[in-house]
Chain A
Amino acid sequence: NAGVTQTPKFRILKIGQSMTLQCTQDMNHNYMYWYRQDPGMGLKLIYYSVGAGITDKGEVPNGYNVSRSTTEDFPLRLELAAPSQTSVYFCASTYPDINEQYFGPGTRLTVT
């Protein structure tokens, strides 16, 4: 199993540009999550999904959108990128009846 994979690893965006961060898991996990981690800080939940077609906001959803058309994929869309979105983005997944979240390797995003 590859586990949770994320692309790209690094990206530099100009203010106002848009992009999609990709997340895929091959563990057949129902639950998936997107976090952002600012330098020297903890992880904050952006959006989460409990299954295909079902998504909900986390703590810091503004400026982001998600979709979940399949069990495997949970892309995060940034519209109109702003410097405040400079961060490392982690995707994670798990089963409903266990709690351990498995994290992807992260995407380091810089908006200038």
Chain B
Amino acid sequence: GENVEQHPSTLSVQEGDSAVIKCTYSDSASNYFPWYKQELGKRPQLIIDIRSNVGEKKDQRIAVTLNKTAKHFSLHITETQPEDSAVYFCAASTGAAGNKLTFGGGTRVLVKP
């Protein structure tokens, strides 16, 4: 089955700096790659996603890049703010069998004011 690895597990940045989180996946049939943000004690919420027919997608301060050949994708947060502090999860799906998602282990991001 699919295996998703996420790095780093923790990331501390100064407010205003950029943060980058990287994920690799194992199943070349995966074609959907979402990123979820989870604040402490809350549910995961989708912040951005990308499909395999697109190499990059941007939404304000957040961008995701995908390299299908290398089977890795990354989340980029620019001009970080204290409210960006949370745990971020990447995931991958082939779209088969109920659109199942396989999640990475998560990255705890701390934005220091």
Contact = CB atoms under 8 A, between A and B. Distances in A.
A28 interface: no
A99 B99 contact: yes
Interface string A80-112: 000000000010001010011101111000000
Interface of A: 31, 33, 40-45, 48-50, 56, 58-59, 90, 94, 96, 99-101, 103-106
Secondary structure at the B interface, as helix, strand, loop or mixed, is loop
Nearest to A54: B98
Given A59-B1, A90-B44, A101 B101 contact: yes
Interface of B: 1, 6, 32, 34, 42-46, 49, 89, 93, 95, 97-106
A96 B75 CA distance: 25
A100 B104 CA distance: 16
Given A43-B103, A90-B44, A104-B43, A99 B98 contact: no
25 contacts: A33-B98, A33-B100, A40-B106, A41-B106, A42-B89, A42-B106, A43-B89, A43-B101, A44-B103, A45-B101, A48-B97, A48-B98, A48-B100, A56-B97, A58-B100, A90-B43, A99-B34, A99-B49, A99-B93, A100-B34, A100-B46, A103-B44, A104-B43, A105-B42, A105-B43
A42 B103 contact: yes
Contacts of A101: 46, 99, 101
Contact of B99 (A40, A56, A96): A96
Given A42-B105, A43-B89, A59-B1, A99 B95 contact: yes
Contacts of B99: 31, 94, 96, 99, 101
Contacts of A99: 32, 34, 49, 93, 95, 99
